[in-house]
Amino acid sequence: MSKARELAELGAVYDSGALSNRNVIINGAFQVAQRGTSATGVTAAAFNTVDRFQYAEGSGGGSAGFTISQSTEAPDGFGNSFKFEVTTTDTLTGGENCLIRTRLEGQNMQRFKSGTSDAESITVSFYVRASVTGTYGVQLMLGPSANATALQSITVNSANTWEYKTLTFAGSTSYAIPNDTSRGFDLNIMLDSGPDDLVAPYTFAAGVSGAFRAPTGQANFVQNSGATFHITGIQVEVGTEATPFEHRSFGDELARCQRYTYVVKGDDDDHTGYIGYSESTTNARFGVLHPVPMRAAPSFTLSGTCRAQGGTADSANFTSGLAIISPNTSHTGACIRVSGTSNLGAADRGYNLQFKADGSSLTFDAEL
């Protein structure tokens, strides 16, 4: 096919905006996994591996257990996928649900013109590879409280084979997505659901509010020990046709992810890069400049061991006692306060915040 023909076809498919920035999904090719590449024994909703995507549950999700990972199993043109493997089986009952979820800011979803008579169609596309064939649900939720939802289904036809899926949802003319930093749009990939939540696919106009739903005939993925489910190349865009996946550089994708979470990692004697001073012989403060402006002032977690390092007056090692000082915390920076340690010198001496155990990390979290 000639280049002119390719451009003409792309122009016909996407005639309401630029050819870049079509995909509202962040990390849809699962390049970024700041928290880690694998998590075992996952039995509750959490962000634990790939950025911006999480395992989620409804009504407790039963007692199913998973190993969740950033996998190198991927279709041509992709390097990674998001993988679920069932390690503890369960038969879901009532309104229990197991699903993959990503949430997006309302201010980034205004292109869909939700809540107006000109509401745009929403097209979802992705690659899927599953050991359990059959029907799987794809649900959209709009608004901070999932005020409006819509449901469609895809069919996995062949076990352990990459298949490309596309779905188009009619836009919502009745619900406007808030134009702010709050939750504005959820994409849910249903892995399994109890019988109370199985329904025929529906549109936003006929939809339910604030509830997980799966299509009648939803595959019972979590009933199968060792079952696997891979997904990658997730794209959500304006229009009625799926365009080729919008690949972004790793650096671009990482920066987008760091708006919601970033992790500083290190081993014994590695410096975090945070400089501060002692308030007293037991307390110290360290200034933090976030790598990108975050969605909101973040929460903060230390995993491992740190110390305040200052030449001849290093503090004792500590694994707790750190806190972000909220009056000095914003979406652009923060102040970390260490309290109740020992061996600091007099007040107003300069210090570095240093890791003192292999595999230590500091996590700043502003997820939706």
- pLDDT tens per residue across all 368 residues of the chain: 455 544 444 554 444 445 789 999 999 999 999 999 999 999 999 999 999 999 999 998 999 999 999 999 999 999 999 999 999 999 999 999 999 999 999 999 999 999 999 999 999 999 999 999 999 999 999 999 999 999 999 999 999 999 999 999 999 999 999 999 999 999 999 999 999 999 999 999 887 888 999 999 999 999 999 999 999 999 999 999 999 999 999 999 999 999 999 999 999 999 999 999 999 999 999 999 999 999 999 999 999 999 999 977 899 999 988 888 877 789 999 999 998 889 898 899 999 999 999 999 999 999 99
pLDDT of residue 17: 47
pLDDT of residue 12: 47
Gap between the Cα atoms of 335 and 289, Å rounded: 9
Are the CB atoms for 98 and 191 separated by under 8 Å?
Answer: yes
Gap between the Cα atoms of 149 and 49, Å rounded: 27
Tokens of 164: 């490309």
pLDDT of residue 91: 98
Each residue of 236-267: b (16+ CB within 10 Å) or e? bbbbeebbebbebeeeebbbbbbbbbbbbbbe
Are the CB atoms for 239 and 32 separated by under 8 Å?
Answer: no
Domain ranges within the chain, ordered by starting residue: 3-258, 261-365
Sign, Cα dihedral of 251, 253, 257, 259: positive
Each residue of 105-142: b (16+ CB within 10 Å) or e? bbeebeebbbbeeebbebbbbbbbbbbbebbbbbbbbb
Residue 216, C-beta contacts closer than 8 angstroms, at least 6 positions apart: 135, 198, 199, 200
CATH of 3-258, one of 2.60.120.260, 3.40.50.2300, 3.40.50.150, 3.40.50.800: 2.60.120.260
* Single pTM value for the model: 0.94
Q: What phi-psi label fits residue 329: left (phi over 0), alpha (psi between -120 and 50 degrees) or beta?
A: beta
